[in-house]
Every structure is written in structure tokens, then in C-alpha cells.
Structure 1
Amino acid sequence: MGWGSHFYTPPHCPSPSGFVKLKQELERRFPGALDVSGQGTPEVTGWFEVTVGGHLVHSKKNGDGFVDSDPKLLKIVAAIESCLA
């Protein structure tokens, strides 16, 4: 599990399960290949960011919203596949 993906969400996020659901889906798609972690942002609200291999690939703050559709998920999956290749 040397590959890492990090998610930044506020601790009082209206849908903290969004992180959990995304984590579970990515671990289902890439069993044993990921090191997924979450980090709260207590000083800032409204963040939900996904970093893959050190690169920001999804940002609610920058207009991507939550990962709530297949195109958003597939963008993250493609970034992971690229890192694992």
C-alpha cells in the first residue's frame, strides 16, 4: 500500500459519509493498492479535495462539488490508474 490518495474535508461537513463512500468505492476498485486518508480542515468550511500522487484532481472549492456522479468518480479513477501504471 505505498500509493497515497488524500481527501480534505471539514470536520463538520454536511455529508461526512461522502468521504467514507468515496474511500470505500476506491478501495473496492483497487483492492490492496491504495492508502486512503482523510484530513479535517477546521479553519475552513466547504472543502472536499482529492489529491492523487501529490496532484489535486478534484476540488469542491474550485467548483467540482462533491464526488456525486460517475464522471467525477471516473476522473479520480483515471488519475489513480495513471499513478499505478
Structure 2
Amino acid sequence: MKRKRSAGIKVVVMGLVSISLYVLLLAEQDAINDYFGRGGLFAFLPILTAFIFSLVHGSFTGNFWSFFGMHPKQKQEGH
């Protein structure tokens, strides 16, 4: 039961972080577009942003499926 509760907390926390990132992205899109369009080292910001979104969303999704008991099939030895 404790394991399921821990997984549930992770799902909620990562879900809130994911939602917060999307809200921030949409609420501040003008400022974000301004920074992304500056060139130079600022050109890496879209890549960094996509990486952050990918990590957060991937963590949320993994915890979501674990919470419901979905895990990858384990390979059997000898096959």
C-alpha cells in the first residue's frame, strides 16, 4: 500500500509540474519568443526547453503507468 501511495504522490507532483510548465509557456509566450529569436547562445533555448518538457512529461507518464500497475514485460532467461 505504501508503494502505491508513493507512486500516486509522484504522479500528482509530476502532473502539477507538467501543467505548470505548459501554463508558464502559454502565459509568457511573447517573452519566450523574444528570447528564442535573439540568436547566438539563445538559439539553444528551444532545445533546452524541449528537453525539460520531455523529461518532465516522460517522468509523469512513467509514474502514471506504474501507479496503475503497467510495467514493461521482463525478458525470460534463455530466450
What TM-score, normalized to structure 2? 0.26
Structure with the largest fraction of helix: 2
Bigger RCO of structures 1 and 2 (CA < 8 A, at least 6 apart): 2
Structure with the largest fraction of strand: 1
Max Rg structure: 2
What TM-score, normalized to structure 1? 0.25
